[in-house]
Amino acid sequence: MAGHSHWANIQRTKSKMDAKRGRIFSKWAKLIMSAARQGGGDPNANLALRYAIERARADNMPKDSIARAIKKGTGEAGGAQFEEVIYEGYGPGGVALLIEALTDNRNRTAPDLRHIMDRRGGNLGASGSVAWIFDRKATFAIAKEGVEEDELIEVALEAGAEDVTTDEEGIFGVVADPGDFMDVKAAFEERGYSLEEAALRYIPKNTVEVDATTGKKLVELIDALEDNDDIQGVHNNAEFA
């Protein structure tokens, strides 16, 4: 897994999201609409919709906005039809990038991403060029303060988690199969653990170490990609020095 780099970036990403709340709500609305369109508007019968709602609630998206997005997704209130697309490429230092998008117009999104990549030292690749480097996982970050490591490991494994790691950032990292996301999250919440993150992410099988200069360029590229309204997530295999 990405080790220190993944968990160390959580606070930076969280702070950036807090500063762009309106744009984040728009992204979650798209995700909710897409999930509702594909699997129906009942979150109890639609795992993808439950996940989308959980992410929206974690960022304090208003209940009426969530309900409106569900209705748009099921066709009750109109709305665009969004398609899930994965784009692949490379950033500065040869770092692999896996980019999740929800778009209603591929002919707009792909050129926009290519323009961002070209301007900031990256390039889009062919389908399959980097996807093999990543595994889709449910990931959880839990603040260490007040948490007994042995107890956390026991709770995590009993709920279906695959691995628990720790680092110097004051965070326990937990990885599970995507299908176990809700069960593991519920187990942590029942114990009262403070979740810094609970998300489905692409975790790299191997990493590329980058120095400070390259890392700065990479972060600027990722920020620019995430600022695009069609982008839901950008995953990388960088190991920052």
Share of the chain above pLDDT 70, in %: 88
4-74: what CATH class?
mainly alpha
User: Do the first three CATH levels of 83-132+205-240 and 134-204 match, i.e. the same topology?
Assistant: yes
Q: Which residue has the tokens 């965070």?
A: 171
> Among positive and negative, which fits the CA dihedral 177, 179, 181, 184?
negative
Task: Kindly calculate the radius of gyration of the chain based on its CA atoms and give it in whole angstroms.
Answer: 18
Domain boundaries, the chain: 4-74, 83-132+205-240, 134-204
Q: Collapsing DSSP states into helix, strand and coil, what is residue 191?
A: coil
- Residue closest to 96 by CA, chosen among 221, 232, 224: 221
164 has a pLDDT exceeding 60: yes
Question: What's the pLDDT tens digit per position in 179-206?
Answer: 999 999 999 999 999 888 888 999 999 9
Q: Are 77 and 29 in contact (CB under 8 A)?
A: no
Q: Which residue has the tokens 């191997």?
A: 206
Tell which CATH architecture fits domain 83-132+205-240. Answer: 2-Layer Sandwich (3.30)
Q: Which two tokens stand for residue 131?
A: 């996807």
Question: What's the pLDDT tens digit per position in 34-80?
Answer: 999 888 999 888 988 999 999 899 888 999 999 999 999 888 867 66
**What CA–CA distance (Å, rounded) separates 34 from 40?**
10
Fold of 134-204: Alpha-Beta Plaits (3.30.70)
**What CA–CA distance (Å, rounded) separates 241 from 69?**
41
Q: Collapsing DSSP states into helix, strand and coil, what is residue 156?
A: helix
